[in-house]
């Protein structure tokens, strides 16, 4: 076989993007598996997304991740979508198959895998999601597709919350309901899984936690947080103090990265190494 000096290119388009840690774990994984791939963290402004997606084709990039503010607007530049991406209307990763761009949303799948690895299956469960933004949409749609019995969305902005509920009710078999976020809102009785999918508690605001009634959390609930750079978020601390099993957002971040790795390279990702690399990066 003749030698190739050409690397396969992948990367992340976003703004802001400088502090996005994904490249560190993907590059470490490429090295570990001996793959000649390069991950580029690229500043792409909102108005330049179309040109940047033309660039994916022009440079024959293998794919990209999309982050703020591109996850929804990128859909117009794609040729095809996965089921989850079609339902949520948001894409966090693209695969370039010989010039045909396919969009997927691996955030929700990463969430499900991180729960499975803790022995938790969402099928038949009553799931409560705090938030209705990008992460909440990905998590709740994927839980619905995985057979959750009931999904309750609690969100500050009622219109956004209601929209997500009608999306789940119209496009999946799960039954969803909306609860308005009043101060100190109760976690509904009989909740199996409570997921914080708001940005409350995100670094540097680690002294904040969602304004819910923590005394309504019980020891039979599983409580999860999307926040990944603080495994001991105040939110999870309150849940742990009430005896709940807790799962932090690091697993979700690693697992979505591992799915992206597999979709781009066809090779199973070295998940443990990726976790270790991120732990080191976040000083955990």
> Rg for the chain (alpha carbons), in Å?
19
The one among 33, 73, 86, 160 contacting ligand NDP by CB under 6 A: 160
Least separation in angstroms between CB 192 and ligand NDP: 20
The one among 64, 115, 165, 200 contacting ligand NDP by CB under 6 A: 200
Phi–psi pair at 81, nearest 5 degrees: -135, 150
The one among 253, 259, 274, 277 contacting ligand NDP by CB under 6 A: 253
Q: Which stretch binds ligand NDP (CB under 6 A): 47-55, 151-159, 234-242, 273-281?
A: 151-159
Q: How far apart are CA 65 and CA 10, in angstroms?
A: 8
Cβ-count burial 237-254 (b if 16+ within 10 Å, e if not): ebbeeeebbbbbbbbbbb
Q: Is 202 in the site for ligand NDP (CB under 6 A)?
A: yes
Structure-block tokens of residue 176: 């969803």
**Residue 25, CB-side half-sphere exposure with 13 Å CA sphere:** 29
Using CB under 6 A as the binding rule, the residues of this chain from 220 to 249 that contact ligand NDP are: 226-228, 249
Q: Which stretch binds ligand NDP (CB under 6 A): 13-21, 30-38, 195-203, 216-224?
A: 195-203
**CB neighbours of residue 184 within 10 Å:** 11
Q: Is 26 in the site for ligand NDP (CB under 6 A)?
A: no
| Neighbour-count burial of 133, counting CB atoms closer than 10 A to its CB (0-12 exposed, 13-18 middle, 19+ buried) | middle
Q: What is the largest CA-CA distance in the chain?
A: 66
Residue 99 or 184 having the CB closest to ligand NDP: 184
Q: Is 14 in the site for ligand NDP (CB under 6 A)?
A: no
Least separation in angstroms between CB 1 and ligand NDP: 38
- Cα pseudo-dihedral 13, 18, 19, 23, rounded to 10: 50
Residue pair 22/74 in contact (Cβ under 8 Å)? The answer is: no
Q: How far apart are CA 90 and CA 17, in angstroms?
A: 18
Q: Is 23 in the site for ligand NDP (CB under 6 A)?
A: no
Using CB under 6 A as the binding rule, the residues of this chain from 42 to 81 that contact ligand NDP are: none
Give the residue at shortest CB distance from ligand NDP.
133
Q: How far apart are CA 70 and CA 198, in angstroms?
A: 19
The one among 110, 151, 168, 233 contacting ligand NDP by CB under 6 A: 110
The one among 53, 84, 93, 136 contacting ligand NDP by CB under 6 A: 136
- DSSP β-bridge partners for residue 81: 103
Residue 66 or 244 having the CB closest to ligand NDP: 66
Q: Is 256 in the site for ligand NDP (CB under 6 A)?
A: yes
Least separation in angstroms between CB 211 and ligand NDP: 6
Least separation in angstroms between CB 135 and ligand NDP: 3
Alpha helices in 195-267 (DSSP H): 234-241, 250-265
Q: Which residues are catalytic?
A: 71
Footprint of ligand NDP (CB under 6 A):
107, 110, 131-136, 155-157, 160, 198-200, 202, 210, 226-228, 249, 252-253, 256
């Amino acid at each position: 076989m003749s030698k190739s000096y050409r690397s396969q290119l992948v990367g992340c388009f976003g703004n802001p993007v400088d502090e996005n840690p994904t490249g560190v774990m993907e590059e470490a994984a490429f090295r570990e598996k001996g793959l000649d791939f390069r991950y580029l963290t690229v500043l792409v402004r909102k108005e330049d997304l179309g040109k940047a997606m033309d660039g994916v084709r022009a440079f024959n990039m293998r794919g990209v991740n999309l982050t703020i503010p591109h996850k929804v607007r990128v859909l117009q530049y794609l040729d095809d979508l996965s089921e989850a991406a079609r339902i949520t209307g948001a894409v966090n990763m693209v695969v370039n198959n010989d010039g045909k761009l396919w969009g997927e949303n691996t955030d929700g799948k990463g969430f499900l895998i991180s729960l499975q690895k803790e022995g938790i299956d969402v099928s038949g469960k009553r799931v409560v999601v705090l938030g209705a933004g990008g992460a909440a949409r990905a998590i709740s749609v994927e839980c619905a597709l995985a057979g959750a019995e009931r999904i309750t969305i609690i969100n500050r902005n009622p219109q956004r919350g209601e929209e997500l509920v009608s999306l789940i009710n119209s496009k999946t078999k799960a039954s969803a309901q909306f609860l308005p976020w009043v101060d100190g809102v109760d976690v509904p009785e009989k909740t199996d899984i409570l997921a914080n999918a708001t940005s409350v508690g995100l670094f540097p605001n680690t002294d904040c936690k969602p304004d819910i009634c923590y005394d309504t959390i019980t020891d039979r609930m599983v409580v999860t947080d999307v926040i990944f750079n603080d495994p001991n978020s105040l939110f999870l601390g309150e849940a742990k103090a009430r005896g709940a099993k807790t799962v932090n957002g690091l697993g979700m971040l690693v697992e979505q990265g591992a799915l992206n790795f597999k979709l781009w390279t066809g090779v199973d990702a070295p998940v443990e190494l990726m976790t270790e690399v991120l732990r080191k990066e976040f000083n955990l």
